[in-house]
Structure 1
Amino acid sequence: MALVYAVVKWKHFIGTRSVTIETDHATLSRMLTQKKVTTRLGYWLDKLADFNFRVVYKSRKQNLVADALSRRPDYMEKVMLLAERQQEEDKSGEAPKDPRRLEWEKAYKECENLRQMVKTCEELEIDEGTGVHISLTEEGKEYHWIEGLLWVKLRKGWRLYVPTVDKRKDISQGFHDDPLAGHPRIKKTTLDTKRIFWWPEMRAEIERYVKACPACAQGRNAYAKYGLQQTLPIPNFRWEVINVDLIMGLPKGKDGYDAIVTVVCQLTKMAHFILVNQATGAEELGRVLVREVIRLQGVPLAIISDRDSRFTSEMWRSMLPPAYYNENVHSLPPSNGWLG
């Protein structure tokens, strides 16, 4: 009911104020006073009970404001096109074919797997009772060719056979990517599509499409199940595994440094504290690590960092031997990354 939709939609404007609703529907003006109420009307009246309003009847000629909204001039072009099309149908006695339907008919005849089946269906006799071609039974399924579309009969009824890969992709996109669809998961997308369409290996193709959807990959990380907590392996030798971190935001000292690089042995907890600038780039940090730590302690087998961009950039990698630098990426920036 439009009246219920309107008051609920504008509830934040109406509040507890007394409002007047003008309509050219005479029955609505009497709905609050009639004695007998149907179940459906009672449901709507229960929703309207939260609002303070009265309904006033206005004839169509007087209700000019509503006409300004519902009979907008920018819609008249479409209305005129529909009217002209209807006139053409009345004159010719035959409705012009929809361009999209012509595309589907062409796709059926271009598909190698369906070309012969469509040809056979077209050659079958027309049933005098229904005026359509007699159905074709092949491999346990029943097929019907009706007005340029191929239909297949399944257990739950007739479904439209989707011929080509491009058409199947368009269908999957419509049931998954469309704003009204809302990027549902694989099961929901498949069920919605199966209500109207069918093609071989349908679920597998829809599953591949949904898994490859970039919007789903970006938006569903927050809802994914967390993995099991795992501790880092205990190293066997000193300086085999090191922790690297940056302490920043310090007041600038006499030497002009305002940050500290901490390098800690994972086994012995022995540490190196190296003065640097907060603006120091990845290349310079790599030189500092080689000069102050690797020169003395040897090349580590693994490095644990806090995922700072300076520790993961290509320049930083270039300062270390490639054989010792393989990255196990963590999804959260604050987590320690195991580099080894």
Structure 2
Amino acid sequence: MAIAERWRRILAQQGAELWIRRLRDYLKGDLSDLSAAEAEDVAKIANQFVLDSRGALYYLSRAKPNRPRDQAEMLRLVVPRSLQADLLHLSHEDFQGAHQGITRTFERLRREYYWPGMYADVERFVKECVDCVTAKGAPPNPWPSPGNILATRPFEAVSMDFVTHLPKSDRGNVFLLLFQCMFSGFVICKPMSSTTAQEVAEAYMDRVFQRFGASEMIRHDRDPRFMSEVFAKFREMLGSRQRDTLAYRPQANGQQERSVQTVIRAVRAYVAEPDQSDWDDQVEKLM
């Protein structure tokens, strides 16, 4: 849809919704269609809205002491009811939306758009999303694990894991290797077509060591690919020491498990969709 046509549609749909039309008329100084009582009601909220040069209505977010994020998002387009379903779908279900949860979907929407009751609408939409219900399954065990490692600086300790059984990309990748800083939670990912010890070592060299230096500790999940002699020698060369998770359990490394689940949920939700074979180009946007 061309930009001019998109704005024509937005303006037309704003004008078709009574409360928005009254606000636009009031802000233009046109009170001819408003009764005294209606004008009084509109005046109570008019200072929260502005018109742009096209006549489109925007909500004016003012910075609040407990919401400093509003300082960076002053104008949010007012969305009439007729267009809300489209935006909910795009914000939650396109690849960058990635079928995220209620809070992330809401925050993505509220950066640019406004309508009354937005959070409740997002909550209902996400809870009723069929793809999310089938892809997410049961939530992970929320209890903490005794196996966590406390890092004191960025990339002092790195946790590694694989996401497997991903749809084959145009480049032939079917695995995703994750490196997570256990101090900051920062995640680096590397799509891969195979998972030999040599390739894992090279990925660590390229994505972590050359950017942040050697980690003092590398944590894994007792997977044999991390136990190979080649990778063990590589860790030894960097001065890293090996530590297994304690009596492996799915939540043994809480941060890493949540990151893995985020990627799995996002990609699984798109396995059945067409034209998703470029997931390895897009996956960093999911982290």
TM-score over 0.5 for the alignment?
A: no
TM-score normalised by length of structure 1: 0.29
Largest Rg, 1 or 2: 1
Higher strand fraction: Structure 1 or Structure 2?
A: 1
